[in-house]
Amino acid sequence: MEYKADALVLRTADYGEYDKMVTLLTAERGKIGAALKGVRRAGAKLKFAAQPFCFAEFVLAARSGRNTVASAALHDGFYPLREDVVRYYAGMTVLSACDKVALEGMRSGELLVSAVTALEGIVQDDPLALLRFFLAALAFAGYPVSAGACPVCGREPSGRMRFDFAGGSFLCGGCSEEGVPASESTYRAVRAAQGEGAAEPDGIVRALRLLGAYFSFQVGAELPELPEYLRLLRG
């Protein structure tokens, strides 16, 4: 049986002498694995489909519980991500996070759209692209982040505040000792990523570090590309 699926290549691995295995994020079937036969031979037509960041319409042949790529039509290869090391690590953070939260058979249309949108934003040097993606990926995984009123007193947090890993919310520093310290610039960056106000560059870095830690805490998996991206971002 053959079927079509718009899919984003999350990772690849050599298989046998000439083949590759690709891990794909799809809207309807979630994360799936598929073989690309002969793609490591010179002149193979589907080499583009064996690269991370490839977003394409795949035609997959399913037999005995295994998928084989029959053909693929490229939507976007996001080639600028491979030409700049900072963009590359930002993009790889997106792929890694998708790989950690997506499951086989889980409808993942929102995650796929968020990932592709984030990659487009990274290519365009949108400073909030990765932060917006983190918020979307965490919500997809069931751990949304709230940057609204303090859940204890009902007022907008200010000054010295904290971020509660258990509830995914910012708290006034005087209302609770739960969670970890968070700066106003971190709070403003998260709000900016949610469409409220503006963010400073330092706040974006702090917010990415915080949400990366929150992601690892809730999902139970590290994102090794994120620290390198933040290091490069700081120069």
Q: Tell me, what CATH number does 58's domain have?
A: 2.40.50.140
pLDDT in tens, the chain (235 residues): 888 999 999 999 999 899 999 999 999 999 999 999 999 999 899 999 999 999 999 999 988 888 999 999 999 999 999 999 999 999 999 999 999 999 999 999 999 999 999 999 999 999 999 999 999 999 999 999 999 999 999 988 888 899 999 999 999 988 888 889 999 999 999 999 999 999 999 999 999 999 999 999 999 999 999 999 999 987 6
Q: Are residues 66 and 130 in the same domain?
A: no
Question: Residue 160: what pLDDT?
Answer: 87
Q: In angstroms, rounded to a whole number, what is the distance separating the alpha carbons of residues 196 and 187?
A: 11
Q: Are residues 20 and 65 in the same domain?
A: yes
- Would you call 191 helix, strand, or coil by DSSP? helix
Q: Are residues 69 and 145 in the same domain?
A: no
Tokens of 230: 């933040």
User: 14 lies in which domain range?
Assistant: 2-76
As for how many domains the chain has, the answer is: 2
Phi/psi at 148 (5° precision): -100, -140
Q: Are residues 222 and 139 in the same domain?
A: yes
Question: Residue 40: what pLDDT?
Answer: 94
Q: Of 76, 105, 137, which residue sits at a domain end?
A: 76
Phi/psi at 233 (5° precision): -65, -35
